[in-house]
Amino acid sequence: MTGTLFIVAAPSGAGKSSLVNALLAREPGISLSISYTDRAPRPGELDGRHYHFVDRATFDAMAAAGQFFEYADVHGDRKGTARTAVEPILAAGRDVLLEIDWQGARSVRAVKPDCVGIFILPPSRAELERRLRARATDSEATIARRLANSREELRHAGEFEYWIVNDRFERALDDLTAIVRAVRQRAPLQWPRPQALLDALLKDG
């Protein structure tokens, strides 16, 4: 029995990373795949925790060698998921979560159509901009580019099985947790499956 591959995507500023981190603290047994990127770390970002930071030549070499499960250009930077961070974990029956954009999600769905896609929506464009500015890590040009790109990202929300509006954080986290738990309760995926209980319930007397 293989694990479930969850994909969480959102426009920048929607609160995706905060929700994912809170979910992982709540739900054991999900491995978060740390993406590779060819951009430089932002203040406070740590290699191996937020991303695997590599130079462009290294990223290109990995892509050419087929080492990525998926990769895409995101806001002018390239990001990719290593095969070793996904395939052996799923084969061992454990769940994996990818925090990627819609392009990466589309690539993943082409090779693993049974993945579960979750798209995080901001409550409004004004709030999206407020959150981007509150991070205080991007230039005005970068913020403007992310806001412009968000329209294209939002157009692809319909490619995902679930939508969550991140208006109130705790409610959004509850919704995300409920989705993961519901998927895990589907009989073909359930592990351990309560087969002994089912057999006992079916016995006469």
In a domain, 61, yes or no: yes
CATH of residue 150's domain is 3.40.50.300
In a domain, 69, yes or no: yes
Q: Over 56-76, what HEC string results?
A: HHHHHHHHHCCCEEEEEEECC
Asked whether the predicted pLDDT for residue 110 surpasses 60, the reply is yes
Task: Note the pLDDT tens digit of each residue in 39-60.
Answer: 999 888 999 988 999 999 999 9
In a domain, 203, yes or no: no
Count of residues in the chain: 205
Query: What pLDDT is recorded for position 108?
Result: 93
61 lies in which domain range? 5-190
Query: What pLDDT is recorded for position 87?
Result: 94
On whether the pTM is more than 0.85, the answer is no
- In the predicted model, what is the mean pLDDT of residues 144-164? 92
The count of domains in the chain is: 1
Mean pLDDT of the chain: 89
User: Rg of the chain's alpha carbons, rounded to an integer?
Assistant: 19
In a domain, 199, yes or no: no
Tally: H helices and E strands in the chain? 8, 9
